[in-house]
Structure 1
Amino acid sequence: MGQQPVTALLLSVFLGGVIPPFALSPRVVAQATPAAEPVNIAELVRARNYARQAAERVNGGLTRYRAEQSMHGPVREAPYVRNADGSYTFRILGYRVRNGVPESMPSIETVATVAPDGRTTIDYNGPIRN
């Protein structure tokens, strides 16, 4: 039995059968890294944190901006591409914060590239592009 049906079944059992079992769709993450080449998780976590912090800084800090949840949760769910030079590029959708509360829809897109030595550059910061 695969991980997804088990998760759905456990959710159903723990919630007292309130929800029927359902299939969870896996989130697709764009990666330039070939599947055969393993990703160093510690390196990826570090790069994700640098990218998120750069996005927070360029958008006015945590009192004015919040990055999407994928930049806080499991690292493999982060929207990243591993580049040929060993750097990582992240496309981060962000929320403006008003009166201490993030808006319900993201309105800011930040693209940040983190080099292997930790140098972070902002490639784009502005309205969400299609």
Structure 2
Amino acid sequence: MATLGGVFFVSAVFLPITGTLAQGTSSEVPNIAELVRARNYARQAAERVNGGLSRYRADASMYAPYVRNADGSYTFRILGYGVKNGVPQPLPSIETVVTVAPDGRTTVNYNGVIRN
């Protein structure tokens, strides 16, 4: 992370999609600000559907697998941890798949045990 006049710049690495998510048909490069905003909306949706921060914590990784869908939406696979006595469990146990529309609307496609 670098700083220039109080503004932080972060370089990002995007990981390939694995698992049950299919690659979208759009071949255009995503707008980074749009992708970060969509990722934040997806994480917030996962937190909401799993009972809030007192009961759930999303994986700290900023590089959750995602698919850019043909309609401009993004679909994310987020692993999460149950929380007991204010402490996240050591291993993730919850998988949440969220699609974020270009206008910010979120749809939770799956929320349950981690699938292989």
- Is this a same-fold pair by TM over 0.5? yes
TM band (smaller chain): 0.7 to 0.9
TM-score normalized by structure 2?
Answer: 0.78
1:1-130 alignment runs, 5 A limit: 28-30=15-17, 32=24, 33-34=26-27, 37-70=28-61, 73=62, 77-130=63-116
Q: Which has the higher strand share?
A: 2
Equivalenced residue count is 98
- Aligned partners of 1:90, 1:124: CA distance in 2, in Å? 10
Matched AA of 1:128:
I
Q: Which has the higher helix share?
A: 1
Q: Cα RMSD (Å) of the superposition?
A: 1.6
What's 2:20 paired with? none
Q: Which structure has the larger Rg over C-alpha atoms?
A: 1
TM-score normalized by structure 1?
Answer: 0.70
- SS in structure 2 at match of 1:69: coil
Higher RCO, 1 or 2 (CA under 8 Å, sep at least 6)? 2
Shift of 1:78: 2.5
- Runs (5+) with no aligned partner, structure 1: 1-25
Identical counterparts, % of pairs: 76
